[in-house]
Chain A
Amino acid sequence: MDAAVTVNHLVVDRGRHRVLHDLSFQIPPGQVTGLLGPSGSGKSTLMRALVGVQVVRSGEVTVLGRPAGSAALRSRVGYVTQSPSVYADLTVRENARFFAALYGVGAAAADRAVADVGLADAAGQLVRDLSGGQMGRVSLACALLGRPEVLVLDEPTVGLDPVLRVELWEQFHALADRGTTLLVSSHVMDEAGRCDRLLLLREGRLLSDSTPAELRARTGTDDLEEAFLRVVREQQAEVAA
């Protein structure tokens, strides 16, 4: 099996501060990989490096066999930023149709994407009149339009009600079943159980790269939040030793 994303010794500095410390991991294709960690742990920076909009200090990031950010990847990799990056002064439908035109798919596909994220009723509304969660879904709909092979989602479920969150996760798995590789970041540990694979990030270091089951087995607890804490303590003990 070929990895969809390979990260080799990635180091990223922001100003004088080192945000990512020598990260190396692979993301298998056709799965939902969760990137979990507290805020400030470098999740967004790592995602930016994967889509090639982050200046890196050193290291290598390969996506679908090409260096991250290369022109050939732009229609194959979708990226949804943490803050909804859509046009607030356009309607939901206009936003989707604009991005549909950029990806060369029709208006029908745009309307379908809007319906897919549960915004069919709000399609004619200006984005600035929507709630934060709805804005995030507009952003997601626009990213889905390109039918990306790799989809990088930065905290897509923040501020969503539980029902919608479950629906979105079902949609992620439906996408994965069709072969899309998803990397979903979250700082909510109860979402970890929904991932096929988990990357735990803390203070720019990778604490764990495993399936949820492996993590539970390794830490001897069913609660993933507790498991995360145990991994952190383990690492602190190692550093102290």
Chain B
Amino acid sequence: MSTTHPVATHVRPHAAPGASTLAVTGRVLRQLRHDPRTIALLLVVPSLLLALMDALWTEQPQVFNRVGLVMLAIFPFVVMFLVTSIAMLRERTSGTLERLLTTPLPRPALLLGYGAGFGLAAALQAAGTTAVGFGLLGLQTAGPLGWVVLIAMVDAVLGVALGLLCSAFARSEFQAVQFMPVVVLPQVFLCGLLVPRDQMAGWLQAISDVLPLTYAVDALQEVGSHPAATGRMWADLAVVAGAAVLALGLAPAPLRRRTSCALGRPGRAAAAAPGAVPATPTPGTASWPRPGRRSPSAGTTARRSGSSPRPRGSTRRWCTTTSAARKSCSWPPSRHRAIPTSCCPPCSRAARRSSVRTCSGWCSGSGTGRAGPPGSR
């Protein structure tokens, strides 16, 4: 029985990338639709909080005007961050993420679909909060309301993008919720709401300069004080949008499939014929295979350090540990040539520590989990 299988020649149906993004967006919105309470909370809570602030500063309407406007940037950012990171985490814990990764859905399409779905929800929220703030609570800006809604929307998309990125680092809901104070609150403190930015210490200003929420708040303040859109407002908006795109761009990396180097690298593994796979340590013999036994010349003369560790003739059979990792290995170079890296205890330990790719030889054919950090592709 041969081990190869003819590659199917018929064309299989494939969703276009745009179509699968739309499918994800539709799914996210449908999930929201089945959860009316969440929709109600999304739409009502920011307006209620705004009304609470209005009541707080009844005597000082100019303070409410300043703080309320900034809140229009902060609410959608915070809410969308939380909602998205929890939604993505649920996807991970329910096993649907793993399932999605076995479908033809590209990871960027998944994230874009999420971004679009929750972005749309955020747009509704921003429109609602703005309507309440300006219609009922007497908020005032010099510039048109349309800009306020636009800024709030872009800001919400930033929240979605950061939420997606952070959820990749959370293993449980508890952790995901903790990311909110870590990622969101410093941005709120330093955005110029509590203390005007020009009154902050220099180093705090420097931090504030690299936090994207600062620019969303600044853009809103521009609208608040200028009747027409200013260049500064557009620049601010571009920074916020850029930060969202950057976060969305980084988010797919941690979403990787849990695969080892060999299984995840089709070219390599396919190149090695099954016959070329050296015998693994058989289950009965728990000891490491003796170095040098299979390659009589290997043990006799140690090559000078730094020379190509790949032996002549049988390329890709023996350990081709990178010289960097090999220097930290207590075994002489000659021994490396005679064994697979996974069987060299010092090397495999070093590989785990430094996550250096140590092995390109044997693992190309048979795969060693030690060749890279878990999940490396």
Contacts and interface: CB of A to CB of B under 8 A. Distances in A.
A121 interface: no
B103 A102 contact: yes
Contacts of B16: 104
B196 interface: no
Interface stretch (B133-141, B322-330, B363-371): B363-371
Contacts of B370: 57
B366 A89 contact: no
Given A8-B274, A74-B103, A90-B31, A21 B283 contact: yes
B15 interface: yes
B357 interface: no
Nearest to B96: A85
Contact of B366 (A4, A8, A51, A81): A8
A58 B369 contact: yes
Given A101-B19, A102-B105, A83 B3 contact: no
Contacts of B366: 8-9, 58-60
Given A21-B283, A55-B369, A104-B14, A87 B8 contact: no
Contacts of B374: 55
Interface string A221-240: 00000000000000000000
A98 B26 contact: yes
Given A22-B282, A89-B34, A75 B258 contact: no
A239 B139 CA distance: 82
Interface residues of A, number: 65
B277 A9 contact: yes
From A53, A67, A75, A78, residue with most partner B Cβ within 10 Å: A67
Given A55-B369, A65-B7, A69-B263, A103 B280 contact: no
A101 B262 contact: no
Contact of B262 (A3, A21, A60, A103): A60
B145 to A, nearest CB: 34
Contacts of A49: 263
Nearest to B377: A69
Contacts of A60: 262, 269, 274, 277, 365-367
Interface string B100-141: 111111000000000000000000000000000000000000
Contacts of B95: 81, 83, 85
Contacts of A89: 31, 34-35
A147 B370 CA distance: 35
B110 to A, nearest CB: 10
Nearest to B97: A85
B274 A6 contact: yes
Interface of B: 1-8, 12-16, 19-20, 22-23, 26-27, 30-31, 34-35, 94-96, 98-105, 257-260, 262-266, 269-270, 274, 277, 280, 282-283, 340, 342, 363, 365-370, 374-375
Given A2-B2, A55-B258, A102-B105, 9 more contacts: A22-B282, A22-B283, A59-B366, A65-B6, A67-B264, A72-B7, A99-B103, A101-B23, A149-B8
Interface of A: 1-4, 6, 8-9, 11, 13, 21-22, 26, 28-29, 49, 51-62, 64-72, 74-79, 81, 83, 85-91, 94, 98-99, 101-105, 126, 142, 146-147, 149, 205
14 contacts: A3-B2, A53-B98, A54-B258, A62-B4, A62-B5, A64-B8, A68-B263, A74-B104, A81-B98, A90-B30, A90-B31, A94-B30, A102-B103, A147-B12
